[in-house]
Amino acid sequence: MLTKCLLLLVFVTAVACFPNGTFTVDYKNNQFLKNGQPFRYVSGSIHYFRVPQPYWQDRLHKMRLGGLNAIQTYVEWSSHEPSPGHYDFEGQNNLVEFINLAQKEDLLVILRVGPYICAERDMGGFPYWLLRTPNIKLRTSDPNYLTPVDRWLEILLPKIRPLLYENGGPIIMVQIENEYGSYGCDLNYTSHLRDKFREMLGHQVVLFTTDGNGDGYLRCGRIPDVLTTIDFGSGTNVTEAKAILYRHQEFGPFVNSEYYSGWLDYWQSPFVQVAVNPFIQTLQQLLDHNASVNIYMYHGGTNFDFKASGNGGNNYQPTLTSYDYDAPINEAGDLTDKYYAIQKLIKQYLPDTIDDRNVKNVSSKMSLPPVNMTFLATIFDMLPWFVKIHSKYPLTFEQANQAYGFILYQTNITFQPTNPAVLAIPGLRDRAHVFVDRRFAGILSRTQKYFDLSILTHNGSELSILVENQGRCSFSCFSEQRGIIGNVTINKKHLLVNWTIYRIPFQEHSFTEIITQLSQPKTKFRFASSHYRIPSIYYANFTLPNVPEYPLDTFLRTDGWGKGIAVLNGHNLGRYWPVAGPQITIYAPGPYFNEAPDSNQLFVFELDESPYWNDPNNSCQVQFVKQHIVNGAYAH
């Protein structure tokens, strides 16, 4: 009873201090109050970092017309502080602009600050450079971790404070950490974050946690004096879920902060779909229980660049470039049956939120004639333009101070091995192409658990190992480093040392510089039969057809190619891997094209097999098509 009275006192004080523009928790009556009136939200998740900036307002507008009165987004630390002390809040990372656009669309904002966010993003949104600190313990009260966290929050939170609802902005709630009860139980850590948020944001903003629908999750995820919310998907017994929540938080509104419209998807696995009817049935039950609900995802977007994560540890699986998520608004911003079913249901419960203005359900797409790709150079041709490091033993990506992309490890065999000899890389993360004297020898894969390879070599041979970081884990194993972890041996007894290590990040600016150099006549390379299965760059310059509405959204189809990345006019569209599936095409947004008659430039870095290797006399093509395929065939 005393706890209940104290909570009521906090609520009354908040209202007294801010008679206008208040958003508070009425614990006594298990509800939110907005400007002193009972309120609940039906919101949807959208991540600004997964949606091209020119499309932010379009997607937010469609969310508002769908009946939502709020949106929810994460803040991705790694995008904003790519290296220690260097901050980026411009362009695609302009968080303040995104929040202001939401307010213009009459949408409230629920902000999930982290610092850990999961979200199927590389390292759960953490910047990779945290792992450069030896023995750092992420998501704990370890000072080695809390020091950069506090420094980051002291940059971020002052930008957020003017956007709080009490200050005239749209932000009504701010989340601390993310599903912490699924990871640890360091109350000193979570309490430290709570106090830091209070220090930087004031004591009126509603802070909350999100955890799974279970006693074990809530026992460690809940933070004293912070609102507790849960998450679960369709088919869950809503009455039981509510009872679980109230076993850990006796009073307060019933909130599902992640009601799943779909699920995450992996390469070489089936695309996950959630049927409309069971999704709507459980959503209706939530609304009948007077719950506030956030639909995760409402618009998923795309894992551009190298930001898609992996998961699974010993059963590692990399996630797709697409984050379509079977969401109500699909990856390209089109409205689905799920969108209209949600809109119809919301109208029954929150009729005032529905805007009856028409919205175009499917935008026009463009298809282009086949684009002929020209061989430019192999990975070995490019080595003079990459930074190299010398080390007795292999270095990880983090030790080499590299966030994403690839690393090439080279050494020479200094003894006479047996033939065949067995190359062993037990600490491989994640996929490696092996070459002996610059000829293809085979592929090792953490996903397939192939860590040993029979090779033909001799004393003096050059051994090259190109390792791809396929995405750091977003959940559970996010503290893992990338590259070669530990030793490389021949026949389990000969330790290979004295490595030359080439950093190949393929960041947008460095990629463009390298391509410019390689395109010079004096450095032009020719395709040769010895290039069989050697990772190489191919390029094309092309012009859009003279059609008035072009450029439009489209999808890159890479039939006949193996695995790689595609870069359009300096924009890394992400990874393609159609032979693995289920994603066959990758999204190419209209704003990433140059308008006709300006020239467009496409590069692909192909790892496995281009059409050239099958028949170099034939055309080597890709094509931009109108139909997106994320639910195609997949390799088992």
Q: Is residue 283 part of a domain?
A: no
Per residue in 518-543, pLDDT (tens digit) is 777 666 677 776 778 999 999 999 99
How many Å apart are CA 310 and CA 128, to the nearest integer? 14
201: CATH: 3.20.20.80
> If you average pLDDT over residues 178-188, what whole number do you get?
96
Q: Is residue 178 part of a domain?
A: yes
Give the domain range for residue 428.
382-504
How many Å apart are CA 53 and CA 94, to the nearest integer? 9
> If you average pLDDT over residues 69-75, what whole number do you get?
98
Q: Is residue 242 part of a domain?
A: yes
Q: Is residue 500 part of a domain?
A: yes
Shared-domain flag, residues 23 and 51: no
- Which residues are identified as catalytic? 179, 258
Better pLDDT: 281 or 314: 281
Give 266's DSSP letter. B
Q: Is residue 180 part of a domain?
A: yes
pLDDT at residue 526, rounded to an integer = 74
pLDDT at residue 422, rounded to an integer = 98
Shared-domain flag, residues 419 and 439: yes
3-state SS, residue 443: strand
Shared-domain flag, residues 53 and 6: no
How many Å apart are CA 562 and CA 577, to the nearest integer? 6
Shared-domain flag, residues 26 and 44: no
Structure tokens, 372: 């002929």
Give 626's DSSP letter. S
Least confident of 6-15, 153-162, 555-564: 6-15
Q: What is the strand order of the sheet 431-436 is part of?
A: 387-391, 499-504, 406-412, 462-468, 431-436, 439-445
Shared-domain flag, residues 572 and 620: yes
468: CATH: 2.60.120.260
> If you average pLDDT over residues 428-435, what whole number do you get?
97
Shared-domain flag, residues 249 and 111: yes
Per residue in 569-626, pLDDT (tens digit) is 999 999 999 999 999 999 999 999 998 667 999 999 999 988 877 666 667 899 999 9
Q: Is residue 520 part of a domain?
A: no
Shared-domain flag, residues 92 and 27: no
pLDDT at residue 10, rounded to an integer = 39
Residue 16 has pLDDT above 70, yes or no: no
Shared-domain flag, residues 35 and 56: no
- For the four alpha carbons of 176, 181, 184 and 189, in that order, the dihedral sign comes to positive
Shared-domain flag, residues 11 and 55: no
Q: How many CB atoms lie within 10 A of CB 538?
A: 24
How many Å apart are CA 74 and CA 91, to the nearest integer? 17
Per residue in 242-273, pLDDT (tens digit) is 999 999 999 999 999 999 999 999 999 999 99
Shared-domain flag, residues 165 and 233: yes
Give me the number of domains the chain comprises. Answer: 4
Instruction: Assign 11 a pLDDT band (cuts: 50, 70, 90).
Output: very low
Shared-domain flag, residues 478 and 554: no
Q: Is residue 269 part of a domain?
A: no
Bridge partners for 499 per DSSP? 391
Instruction: Assign 508 a pLDDT band (cuts: 50, 70, 90).
Output: low
How many Å apart are CA 561 and CA 579, to the nearest integer? 8
Shared-domain flag, residues 467 and 557: no
Determine contact, residues 484/409, Cβ cutoff 8 Å: yes
pTM of the model: 0.94
Alpha-carbon distance values, 498 to 278, 398, 411, 416, 487 (Å) = 59, 19, 6, 17, 12
Determine contact, residues 222/248, Cβ cutoff 8 Å: yes
Per residue in 459-493, pLDDT (tens digit) is 999 999 999 999 999 998 999 999 999 999 999 99
Q: Is residue 85 part of a domain?
A: yes
Render 41-81 in DSSP notation, one character per residue: -EEEEE-GGGS-GGGHHHHHHHHHHTT-SEEEEE--HHHH-
Instruction: Assign 71 a pLDDT band (cuts: 50, 70, 90).
Output: very high
